[in-house]
Amino acid sequence: MIPNRPIRSLLTTLNSWTLPICISTGSAMAVTTASDVLPTVGSQEVVGYTSIDANTGAYDQPGWVQRRPFGTTRVHIQRNPGEITVEQWMRVRKYGDEYKFRFREEVEFGLPNRVQIDLYYDWTLEDREADHLDFAGEVRWAPADWGKMALNPALYLEYKLVDSTRGGDVIEPKILLGEDFGDGWHWGMNFVYERELSGEQAEEYAITQAVSKTIMESLSLGAEMAVKSETVEGARDDAEHKFLIGPQLQWRPTKKTHLNLVGLFGCTDDSPDFEGWLIFGYDFGSPSEKQSNAPVSGRL
């Protein structure tokens, strides 16, 4: 009981003001909360495109970069720190009625500071005879996280220990470029120099390029191409010029597996009639994925 009538009157007035304010504020808070929270599916935001296009990598690289998007073109850093991937490659080249097969077993290691190391073994199948070709190692390094530099460059260096009966050892530096064009479109380009250190001292300058489009979470389609100029010691003015182009497909049946199919067709006299690639990869360990911060409307 409040005996003082003026005080009781004042409290009554304050109550009459407070109730509408609380109701109004509560309604405003409800509206704000509903509009500000991004929709989610599990722990992944719905960002207007599939998670393969979201920046979930340890270095902000999108999912498509982490799953070897192309057969002939490499992009940025695939493996997150502590992640290991094994891949089985098969390449077939057709020259007239002759087919030549090359097989590769590869292991990829993700290291800190935007570094990746790959080790692999190549062997061939020609004229129905299998033969050792080379052991090789490659290292790639990106100077910045994805999206921090134009075209997301990375540097790549490969060294091949070639069987002495098949030629000299080979060194191969590359510049790797890649970009998102939005709406599920991906692009990559490599500038390649390859040099045999002994024997014929074969030398190659090449540019490879690839583009793909995410069709659904598990499927991307696109095209790849390669332009090459090859010479040997004593005939540097008599180069072989090769140009190949054709379709490519990547199927990702699970989060840890990817299958690439590439079919390139030769467009010059020096090119093989056909060059096909099949790559199957499996990711071990736990990728350093993080939640995407992209807006619901997608990216430009």
The average pLDDT across 168-183 equals: 97
pLDDT at 290 over 70: no
What residue type is assigned to position 123 of the chain?
A: W
pLDDT at 60: 96
Q: If you count them, how many residues does the chain have?
A: 300
pLDDT at 143 over 60: yes
Instruction: Give Cα separations from 63 to 19, 184, 210, 274, 276 (angstroms).
Output: 51, 11, 17, 30, 25
Q: Which CATH number fits domain 56-284: 3.30.70.2860, 2.70.98.90, 2.40.160.40, 2.130.10.10?
A: 2.40.160.40
Radius of gyration of the chain (CA): 28
Centroid of chain to Cα 41? 23
pLDDT at 43 over 60: no
pLDDT at 52 over 50: yes
What's the pLDDT band for 285 if we cut at 50, 70, 90?
Answer: low
User: Which region among 66-70, 97-101, 149-153, 283-287 has the lowest average model confidence (pLDDT)?
Assistant: 283-287
Query: What dihedral do alpha carbons 191, 138, 56, 51 form, nearest 10°?
Result: 70
Mean residue pLDDT of the chain comes to 85
> 97, 300 in Cβ contact below 8 A?
no
Instruction: Give Cα separations from 145 to 60, 124, 151, 196 (angstroms).
Output: 6, 37, 11, 33
Instruction: Give Cα separations from 192 to 22, 37, 102, 155, 204 (angstroms).
Output: 67, 46, 20, 11, 8
> 202, 232 in Cβ contact below 8 A?
yes
104-133: pLDDT as tens digits: 999 999 999 999 999 999 999 998 899 999
- What's the rounded Cα separation, in Å, for the pair 91 and 105? 12
Three-state secondary structure call for residue 23 = helix
pLDDT at 128: 87
Structure tokens given for 211: 């583009």
Three-state secondary structure call for residue 279 = strand
What's the pLDDT band for 40 if we cut at 50, 70, 90?
Answer: very low
DSSP-assigned beta bridge partners for residue 240: 230
pLDDT at 155 over 80: yes
What's the pLDDT band for 45 if we cut at 50, 70, 90?
Answer: very low
Domain boundaries along the sequence of the chain: 1-34, 56-284
Instruction: Give Cα separations from 137 to 155, 170, 253 (angstroms).
Output: 14, 11, 28
Closest-CA residue to 256 (of 55, 118, 80) = 80
Q: CA neighbours within 13 Å on the CB side: how many for 5?
A: 0
Pairing outcome for strands 40-41 and 84-95: unpaired
pLDDT at 26: 43
The average pLDDT across 247-261 equals: 96
